[in-house]
Amino acid sequence: MMSSRVRSRLLWVSLGAVLAASAVLLIVFALPGQLNAFRTPSQLATLEIQPGKTLRLGGQIVPGSYATEDGITHLFTLTDKEGGVQVVRYSGALPDLFREGQGIIATGVLDGQGGFDAKTLLTKHDEAYVPRELRDHASAQ
Amino acid sequence: MIAEWAHLALILALPVAVMQALSALSPAGMLGWSGGFRQNIVRWSALFGAILTSLAFLGLVLAFISGDFSVKTTFEHSHSAKPLLYKISGTWGNHEGSILLWVLILAVFGGLLALRKGAASRQDLQVRALGVQALIVIAFLAFTIFTSNPFERLLPAPIEGRGLNPLLQDIGLALHPPLLYFGYVGFSITFALTVAALLRGEADQAWARMVRPWAMLAWTGLTAGIALGSWWAYYELGWGGFWAWDPVENLSFLPWLTGTALIHSLMVVEKSGALRVWTLFLGVVTFVLAILGTFVVRSGLLTSVHAFAVDPSRGVFILAILGLAVIAAFGLFVWRAPQFKPGGGFAPVSREGALVLNNLFLSTGAGVVLLGTFFPLITEAFGQPLTVGKPYFDATFLPFMVPLLLLMALGPFLPWRQARFAAGSGGESEAGPKRRRLRLRPARGLLTLLVVALGLAALVITLLSWQSQPRLTLTIALAMVLAGWLLGGGVLTLLQRVQASGSLAKVTLLGWAVSLAHAGLGIAVFGLIAGSAMVQERTVNLKPGDEAEVGHLTFRLEGVRETQVDPAAGRNYISAFADLAVLDRQGGVQMILSPERRFYPIRQDSTTEAAIHVTWLGDIFLAFNTQAPDGGFIVSLSWRPLIPWLYFGCFLMVVGGVCGVLGSWRRLARMSS
């Protein structure tokens, strides 16, 4: 009686261990391709970053830099407190709180020709919120 | 004046909670009170505390309604020209008010636990749980009063408030936070009962029976809260859609995963007394994750689309509470857990076995989500903060959900098997009839499941005929088979209960709970898959008269019109509508949908209000963005198949949850009378 109970407990514990191990394996295999570093325009200028690698670019939209021709593709420049600049291209609908002079985080890739292709733009949810990375590194105020 | 009384009530709630904690948790001999007297003191303190907190909250709501701008919170987040609904929901549309709502729900739950005079056998458990509950109330009341006081004054009082963030002027704000908090805070009761059990060194079947309705209640609230939040993020533009693996979303999902594990492991404890230590662990973990969910969002530690402004001193206070709760509860757990004797055993292939598997998959899933969510903080400790996105979660979380969903359809058909090991447990008397009732005819059931699943897959592949990528189509079809399997399992569970009890009317509430929750998840998975992989979307520049096609739909911009501010009609904004006609194959106008762009003069903000047409097959989702320099209008047109089923599935799960609450409550009442 006792032994079968111990055996069944052993079964469950080892199953749990197998699951945990497979979780670790999945994470180890999934992680390398999925890590998105946070960068500022100044860092992009000094670091050699491969085009096509996803990263999160944070900075402040330079007033007067926003331009669009068809209303669908948007161009603007991000800057940071070290004075670096980076031109960003984004296609689609702009977030409601997109404004010149505001800090944003753009997730996307370098296009290899000096531009940054953003897939998503993180703007503020309420006007007092500043994403932590921007507060720490990138805000030009 | 009302605000002063409300403030006073809030402050008074603190000593009441202190008294409740002291009288409940002090050693028996110290106060020299009889058990019954102590119980009454504790119960009445809990009820009185709930009333005081309710009065405080009511006072804040009244300050928002009447526009008392001498209250700082009201000044900063309200405005007299705002519809009544948003004045009320604006009460919790800010940090201070939402924390007060949290404390309100906490105190009311405590009051509910105190409401029934526990039977003599459960008296001690109730008293101690109320003591633990009071400790939580003290921590969060102190947090509210000292760092986030919603009743802070502004003198002289301003004449007009700043207005509520327009994004929050939405029915979503009225529903989502209260339900989410209901879920989070509901787990404070399961936590209190768990800690009380650890203190007493006893967690028997009666204990599990008592915890179950509360766990179900919290789970139901959390499910509804997450579903409504997902729905809100779905129709609000720029919030990443119904699920984006955003940190704030993940943090609400974590207690849901462990809470789901908890309601399942409680069944095993109630049935056979096995899994007690694990269940106690889940009881502690789930509430710790719920606190984490509420407050990491407000601590500014993680960057999110859904985050709000924070004051760093609050973050420290919250982390102190969290740290204290974690150390105390886990310390107690580590100290006491070895004293619990192992409960009844069970065979690997049994209902208990399936429930253990459920727990293993859910907690592994919770583990990888937790790691991914906190990855930026972990990596920051070693230098650079690195975040992980949707691909990480898809690759690590989904592999554990697929087998879980596969097993989930089968679990309810497996017989309880504790009779074999009955020696160590007291549940033998219950086991006999149950075992006979739950005989399944595996071949027939499996065949039906398979037919349902394949039929649904065929349907989906037909629907998908316009998809050009075969690999994607295959993946989607396989996922749909899984969803169909799950839905079939839920339906079969119900049919089997009907067969066993003789008629539909005789199916127990708990039978309905399992069938509805499982079938609901299956239906929700359909919507989830379609919403993740089958959406067709275009952003186009249209001039009036221009046409654009998306998937099988054709749209024509008929024109753009504007409306002005009209306080009498509850409109504190200027609107521009783009009237888009949906054309049928012959070019006739099927209907006109009008996505809207609003401009709020008070806060100089604009918002985008999507126009959504819901059909059985999917949503037509249109948004009006802006005007281009060439005079054209920018609109986003999309076809989102099967999305309504995601929310219908969640609705069924919530209904299932309500059945579970009532069913387990009734059982508790019957067993203890």
User: pLDDT tens for residues B157-181?
Assistant: 787 777 777 777 788 888 888 999 9
Region of poorest pLDDT, from B37-41, B57-61, B283-287: B37-41
- Say yes or no for a CB contact (<8 Å) between B625 and A107: no
- Say yes or no for a CB contact (<8 Å) between B385 and A94: no
State the average pLDDT over residues A61-84: 87
State the average pLDDT over residues B379-401: 84
As a whole number of angstroms, the distance between CA B304 and CA B68 comes to 32
- Say yes or no for a CB contact (<8 Å) between A34 and B395: yes
Q: A-B interface: how many C-beta pairs under 8 angstroms?
A: 150
Burial class (CB in 10 A: 0-12, 13-18, 19+), B162: middle
pLDDT band at B188 (very low <50, low <70, confident <90, very high): very high
How far are the Cα atoms of A21, A64, B370, B471, B644 from residue B391, in angstroms, in the given order? Answer: 20, 35, 15, 18, 24
- How many CB atoms neighbour CB B516 within 10 A? 23
- Say yes or no for a CB contact (<8 Å) between B237 and A23: no
Per residue in B102-135, pLDDT tens? 999 999 999 999 987 766 677 888 889 999 999 9
State the average pLDDT over residues B364-379: 90
pLDDT at A135 over 70: no
State the average pLDDT over residues B384-413: 86
Domain annotation covers residue B128: yes
Q: Tell me the shortest Cα–Cα distance from A112 to chain B, in angstroms.
A: 22
- Say yes or no for a CB contact (<8 Å) between A71 and B632: yes
State the average pLDDT over residues A105-125: 84
pLDDT band at A44 (very low <50, low <70, confident <90, very high): confident
How high is the pLDDT of residue B423? 37
How high is the pLDDT of residue B485? 84
- Mean pLDDT taken over chain A: 80
Q: Considering CB atoms only, which of A35, A37, A128 is closest to B309? A: A128
As a whole number of angstroms, the distance between CA B247 and CA B296 comes to 9
How high is the pLDDT of residue A40? 86
User: Do the beta carbons of residue A44 and residue B388 sit within 8 Å?
Assistant: no
Those of residues 427-466 in B touching chain A at CB distance below 8 A are none
pLDDT band at B429 (very low <50, low <70, confident <90, very high): very low
DSSP string, B79-123: -SSS-HHHHHHGGGSSHHHHHHHHHHHHHHHHHHHHHS---HHHH
State the average pLDDT over residues A49-65: 85
- Domain positions in chain A: 1-34, 38-138
User: Do the beta carbons of residue B74 and residue B64 sit within 8 Å?
Assistant: yes
Per residue in A73-99, pLDDT tens? 899 999 888 888 889 999 888 887 787
The residue with greater pLDDT, B509 or A29, is: B509
- Contacts for B626 with CB less than 8 Å, ≥ 6 apart: A71, A94, B597, B633, B634
Angle at B567 between CA B563 and CA B568, to 5 degrees: 100
Q: Any chain A CB within 8 A of the CB of B169?
A: no
Kindly list the residues from chain A whose CB atom is less than 8 angstroms away from the CB atom of residue B357: 15
Highest mean predicted confidence (pLDDT) among B294-303, B530-539, B643-652:
B643-652
Q: Any chain A CB within 8 A of the CB of B395?
A: yes
Kindly list the residues from chain B whose CB atom is less than 8 angstroms away from the CB atom of residue A96: 167, 237-238, 605-608
pLDDT at A3 over 70: no
User: Do the beta carbons of residue B614 and residue B647 sit within 8 Å?
Assistant: no
pLDDT at B657 over 90: yes
Q: Considering the entire predicted model, what is its pTM?
A: 0.89
| Tokens read off for A29 | 């295999």
Q: Any chain B CB within 8 A of the CB of A71?
A: yes
Nearest chain A residue to B361 by CA distance is A19
Per residue in B546-592, pLDDT tens? 999 988 889 999 989 988 888 777 777 889 999 999 998 888 888 99
- Mean pLDDT taken over chain B: 84
State the average pLDDT over residues B531-554: 88
- Say yes or no for a CB contact (<8 Å) between B395 and A1: no
Nearest chain B residue to A123 by CA distance is B305
Domain annotation covers residue B383: no
State the average pLDDT over residues B385-411: 87
pLDDT at B142 over 60: yes
As a whole number of angstroms, the distance between CA B426 and CA A79 comes to 70
How high is the pLDDT of residue A126? 54
Per residue in B9-53, pLDDT tens? 999 999 999 999 998 888 766 677 777 788 888 999 999 999 999
Per residue in B93-103, pLDDT tens? 888 888 999 99
Number of domains in chain B: 2
Kindly list the residues from chain B whose CB atom is less than 8 angstroms away from the CB atom of residue A129: 307-310
pLDDT band at A38 (very low <50, low <70, confident <90, very high): confident
User: Do the beta carbons of residue B649 and residue B621 sit within 8 Å?
Assistant: no
Residue B558 is part of which domain span? 536-641
Residue entry with tokens 């409940």: B24
pLDDT band at A124 (very low <50, low <70, confident <90, very high): low
- Say yes or no for a CB contact (<8 Å) between A129 and B308: yes
DSSP letter at B566? B
State the average pLDDT over residues B441-460: 68
Angle at B303 between CA B229 and CA B364, to 5 degrees: 70
Nearest chain A residue to B307 by CA distance is A125
Q: Tell me the shortest Cα–Cα distance from B16 to chain A, in angstroms.
A: 36
Where a domain ends, among B169, B190, B219?
A: B169
Q: What is the CATH number of domain A38-138?
A: 2.40.50.140
pLDDT at A11 over 50: yes
Nearest chain A residue to B304 by CA distance is A131
Element (H, E) at B61: helix B35-66
Helix (H, G, I), strand (E, B) or coil at B415: coil
User: Do the beta carbons of residue B358 and residue B264 sit within 8 Å?
Assistant: yes
Q: Considering CB atoms only, which of A30, A107, A131 is closest to B395? A: A30
Where a domain ends, among B169, B193, B222?
A: B169
- Contacts for B374 with CB less than 8 Å, ≥ 6 apart: B302
Provide the pairing of β-strand B605-609 with B596-600: antiparallel
Q: Considering CB atoms only, which of B396, B540, B606 is closest to A26? A: B396
| Identity of the amino acid at A15 | L
Domain annotation covers residue B259: no
